Amino acid sequence: MRLSVRGIGIVGAFGTGVESFEKALVEGQVTVGSIEVATGEGVQAVPAYRADTAGLEEFVPKRSLRRVDHYSKLALLGSFLALKDAGMLDSGLSRVGLVIASGYGATATTYAFLDSLISGGDTCASPTHFANSVHNAAAANVAITLGIRGPSLTVSQFDMSVPSALVSARQWLAEGRVDTVLFGAIDEVSELVAYLQHRRRGPRHAPAMAPLDAGAESSIIGEGASFLLLTRDEGAPAYCGIDSVETGNLFGTQLSLPSDALLLLGADGRSELGRRYQDAVPEGAQAACYTPIYGSMPAAAGFDLAAAALALKAGRAFASPAGPGPFVPAPAAVSRICSLRLAGPSEYATIVMSKL
Amino acid sequence: MIHWPVAITGLGCICAAGGTVPDCLDSLYAGRRAPVPPTRFSTSHPTAFPVFEVRDFREPPELLRTSALGVQAAAEALADADLSPEELRGLRVGVCVGTTVGSALNDEGFCRAHRAGEEPDLFPMERILNSNPAAAIARAFGCTGPCQTVVNACASGTDAVGLAASWIRGGICDVAIAGGADELGRITYHGFISLMITDDSPCKPFDRDRKGLNLGEGAGMLVLESEQVRARRGARARSFVMGYGSACDAHHLTAPHPDGAGLRQAVAEALACCAVAAERVAFVNAHGTGTPDNDRVESRVLAELFPGVPYHSTKGHTGHTLGAAGGIEAVFTVACLERGVVPASAGFENVDPELAGEPLRGNREVAGDFALSQSLAFGGSNSVLLFGKGDAE
């Protein structure tokens, strides 16, 4: 069964909404910010793609967001934007299901809960932080705010969260459990994520991501939300179709990739994965990579899907922001894209999308 | 759309009630339970809230305890299904596992050291990143199909089984290992205490004097199999996943909807998708945590949707194992349906006049063909599985 992408809600360092995202993809650049983090050598600024959720005030009164953390705000903003983009803001949501994919969940709130335990002792753990640190807190906040009473699913499969969650979202639609899936990918930059990045990559951080240079250690952490409004493809206007989703483990077997599709690589400057991408892409294949627009995060696969949807709607691919690397550059015209995601020694995912 | 049944050919379980499915069933039918103050971690909290720990189990140092528990339950389930590693290699095997802590970047020692200005060893974080429960099980058994770690709080295990059944129906995989796994640690323990929903004595689901839940840990796994593979192997179905429903309360982050709106919808979906009437349900394995709110809402919904149908909670034997609960209780529901005997609801003594019904006081023989297992979760998630009787032995 083919899915169609009916709406996109997206927020990241590039700004808020489809237009900002498309502009950044066309221009091929985004301003990278930073986050300060305590290290053994004092406070250090770690480069990071930061997202601003101020746009949420267009949809929700500020006072009702007082107890909502940044992670859930990203989810709320992505949800509202996707519904608005699809013209469904005022529609009934009774046949809507909610699927959220996140690699790390609400890490800032998780760390804040630990802080309460460490600084206050075992009797002073914060109930508010604990309740909001649960992985499905963002889905709950979206459901409560929008009144979504259908099925809700949150998946945390690290780098494979997005394709894995998409497998189940597709099944919901195929089996008629729902007519629409609000599908979101979220990850946030937090002190913990930044500290881990600092320890792995510091103290010298790459000034810019070069994901197609397999030998370079150039990842820069990112955050944001990418929401897609998905339905069965029944001929209604949409960005593009999603033809297939496949995930699993290769365990030494050869990856099979479509020969007629532009390969959209999830490489993000981590050299251990960069080599896997280089080995996986057949010689002469056309490939692109857009991660320098949104940064390195497990949920980046959701941003890949949004970028592919925009390219397919326009019928033209965006150039890779950091250059084509060793691959054949993306062609001017594009009608089929295969989003390729690799993780660990053997995990893979392919999502094939095409022009309607 | 009517969903065709998906065969369950193997069961595995490890929890405080026992290290294997037969051990757990022995404990359930004998009414044995032994919650004690935590022994695996320290606490300075003045009240010693009892917990249900898994004894005599040691995880390998490179793996989170959650994932190691999951691997152990999966190994038992695969052996029960008589699926050898050689047979698995020729099949597309998916893994769908529910958890609450198995994928959280949450290590107190690491955080404490970082806060103290040290440069802590990255090993605890690397271990988390290498221990995603579904991925760990896939690695352990060479599974090439889709992997999914479901983090729907306390409904995670139930959702994982329902989703895996859908994968089988959709031809996404031939075999699926599905269930839930969660370990108990200081963070969860003190988090639940902070919410003031834990009982300082052994939990008493549906009892008048219930004060809250006891936490537990463990894993419950099921092997689901396509009819094509099952026919080729001549494998016996111990049960079938008949229906699955899930719905969101859209009400509150931690409290259930007072009318059980989402639970009603999830039950309705689970029955409707396989066209089974409520009166054909032989018994219900309730979520039954022992918290005042949960048991009030659940008993009300059960009384209205399943009048006269016996129900019980097994959390009096296992504690609330959170993301594992749906997997463990699915295993118990299938095994009890197969045996035709439902254990008493441990911890229940006194009828609560504010509740609409009461759970089983003693073990009871049941003759029906279907049984329901339900889970309610933080975030307002409600999930329900309907199981059908399997092939005759």
Per-residue pLDDT of chain A (356 residues; tens, 9 = 90+): 999 999 999 999 999 999 999 999 999 999 999 999 999 889 999 999 999 999 999 999 999 998 899 999 999 999 999 999 999 998 889 899 999 999 999 999 999 999 999 999 999 999 999 999 999 999 999 999 999 999 999 999 999 999 999 999 999 999 999 999 999 999 999 999 999 999 998 778 888 999 999 888 999 999 999 999 999 999 999 999 999 999 999 998 999 999 999 999 999 999 989 999 999 999 889 999 999 999 999 999 999 999 999 999 999 999 999 999 999 999 889 999 999 999 999 999 999 999 99
Question: Could you give the CA distance from residue A243 to residue A253 in angstroms, rounded to a whole number?
Answer: 23
Which residues, at least 6 apart from B66, have a Cβ–Cβ distance to it below 8 Å? Answer: B99, B101, B102, B131, B133, B181, B182, B183, B219
Phi, psi of A246 (to 5 degrees): -135, 130
Residue B267, burial from CB neighbour count under 10 angstroms (0-12, 13-18, 19+) = buried
Task: Decide: A228 and A302 in contact? Cβ < 8 Å.
Answer: yes
Pairing label, strands B239-248, B6-15: antiparallel
Chain B residues with CB inside 8 Å of A151's CB? 245-248
Closest Cα in chain B, distance from residue A331 (Å):
31
* Chain CA centroid to CA B130, Å: 23
On whether the A3-354 domain is CATH 3.40.47.10, my answer is yes
Query: Do you find a cis peptide bond into A203, omega within 30 degrees of 0?
Result: yes
From A119, A122, A165, residue closest to B45, measured CB to CB? A122
Tokens linked to B376: 């309610």
Residue A258, burial from CB neighbour count under 10 angstroms (0-12, 13-18, 19+) = middle
Contact A130 B195 (CB under 8 A): yes
**If you ran DSSP here, which 8-state letter would residue B175 be given?**
E
Domains recognised in chain B with CATH numbers? 6-387 (3.40.47.10)
Question: Could you list the active site residues of B?
Answer: 154, 287, 320
A272 CB neighbour count, 10 Å cutoff: 10
Question: Could you give the CA distance from residue B108 to residue A116 in angstroms, rounded to a whole number?
Answer: 11
Contact B1 A253 (CB under 8 A): no
Question: Could you give the CA distance from residue A55 to residue A334 in angstroms, rounded to a whole number?
Answer: 32
**pTM metric for this prediction:** 0.98
Beta bridge partners of A185: A101, A226
Tokens linked to B31: 């009414």
Residue A316, burial from CB neighbour count under 10 angstroms (0-12, 13-18, 19+) = middle
pLDDT given at position B96: 98
pLDDT given at position A92: 87
**Closest residue of B to A118, CA-based?**
B112
Residue type, B208: R
pLDDT given at position A202: 79
Question: Could you give the CA distance from residue A209 to residue B23 in angstroms, rounded to a whole number?
Answer: 54
Task: Decide: B214 and B52 in contact? Cβ < 8 Å.
Answer: yes
What is the torsional sign of CA B70, B372, A150, B269? positive
Question: Could you give the CA distance from residue A198 to residue A38 in angstroms, rounded to a whole number?
Answer: 10
From B104, B250, B252, residue closest to A149, measured CB to CB? B250
Residue type, A202: G
Tokens linked to B8: 């369950």
B140, containing H or E segment = helix B133-141
Closest Cα in chain B, distance from residue A166 (Å):
10
From A107, A135, A177, residue closest to B151, measured CB to CB? A135
Beta bridge partners of A7: A229
Chain A residues with CB inside 8 Å of B64's CB? none
Chain A residues with CB inside 8 Å of B144's CB? 248-251, 253
Contact A105 B159 (CB under 8 A): no
From B190, B196, B251, residue closest to A122, measured CB to CB? B190
What is the torsional sign of CA B73, B75, B79, B81? positive
Which of A262, A257, A267 lies closest to A322 in space, CA to CA?
A: A267
Residue among B172, B173, B182, B267 with most chain A CBs within 10 A, to mutate: B172
CA distances from A216 to A196, A267, A346 (A): 18, 11, 21
Question: Could you give the CA distance from residue B255 to residue B249 in angstroms, rounded to a whole number?
Answer: 9
Pairing label, strands A224-232, A3-12: antiparallel
Question: Could you give the CA distance from residue B77 to residue B87 in angstroms, rounded to a whole number?
Answer: 14
Contact B151 A137 (CB under 8 A): no
Per-residue pLDDT of chain B (393 residues; tens, 9 = 90+): 889 999 999 999 999 999 999 999 999 999 999 899 999 999 999 999 999 999 999 999 999 999 999 999 999 999 999 999 999 999 999 999 999 999 999 999 999 999 999 999 999 999 999 999 999 999 999 999 999 999 999 999 999 999 999 999 999 999 999 999 999 999 999 999 999 999 999 999 999 999 999 999 999 999 999 999 999 999 999 999 999 999 999 999 999 999 999 999 999 999 999 999 999 999 999 999 999 999 999 999 999 999 999 999 999 999 999 999 999 999 999 999 999 999 999 999 999 999 999 999 999 999 999 999 999 999 999 999 999 999 988
Tokens linked to A248: 């699993």
B105, B109, B115, B120: CA torsion to nearest 10: -90
Give the sheet arrangement for strand A42-49, strand by strand: A33-39, A42-49, A221-222
pLDDT given at position A91: 87
Which of B158, B234, B169, B228 lies closest to B6 in space, CA to CA?
A: B169
pLDDT given at position A215: 86
Contact A171 B100 (CB under 8 A): no
